[in-house]
Amino acid sequence: MNNSSKNPDMLEMQKYFGFYAHKVLPYVELCSTQNKSGCHALHTHTSAVVFRGIDYALALDKNPTPVIFAGAFHDMARTHDGWDTHHGEKAVPNAKKIMREFTDILTDIDMEHIIYAIANHTTGTVAPDYVSACLWDADRTRMSWVYGYESKHFNTDRAKYVASHPYQDYINFQQRCVPIILWSHEY
């Protein structure tokens, strides 16, 4: 079994997702304009993107922490579920403000990658770094489950595997890792 078809360690996923839920999410909640429900809601879609981003970073043997921040920030400036290619750019000022609270764990390079990833997550194609690759892939996975898989939209082998297979096995994995969230392929 190759690394792309194997789910990551459940305890590792819980540890990183717990960091997101307890340390990063409270800051995002304070400044997010995201809907409380719908396909881009903070506690459903964003949580799913963060979860998958952690998975994809671990599959690359990379630090998931910058990916957690990118996932947490990527839709925080959304005001509706419709098409909006600029919401990532609009999130940048609040993202920078929040990241100042975490300079003990984020390097300047991490912050540059996070900003690039969120600003370009709706239009980027070939990711210049692993943070962008993991965020973009994590955000686009649900699109494959809902609308059909196209490998050209993905940068990492793990995301290609997850996005090209039936969603139910992955949703079950998410549910085992973090049972307090009602996971869905629609997020």
**pLDDT, tens digit (0-9, with 9 covering 90-100), for 47-91:** 999 999 999 999 999 999 999 999 999 999 887 777 777 777 889
**The model's pTM:** 0.95
Instruction: Report all structural domains of the chain as residue ranges with CATH numbers, in order of start.
Output: 10-176 (1.10.3210.10)
Terminal alpha carbon distance of the chain: 27
C-alpha distance from residue 64 to each of 72, 98, 147 (Å): 12, 17, 27
Any idea of the CA torsion for 111, 116, 119, 122, to the nearest 10 degrees?
A: -130
Euclidean distance between CA atoms 151 and 8, whole angstroms: 22
53, 68 in Cβ contact below 8 A?
yes
| Token pair in block for residue 55 | 């998975």
pLDDT of residue 20: 98
**What is residue 151's predicted lDDT score, i.e. its pLDDT?**
95
> What's the maximum distance between 2 C-alpha atoms anywhere in the chain?
42
pLDDT in tens, 8-33: 899 999 999 999 999 999 999 999 98
pLDDT beyond 70 at 183:
yes
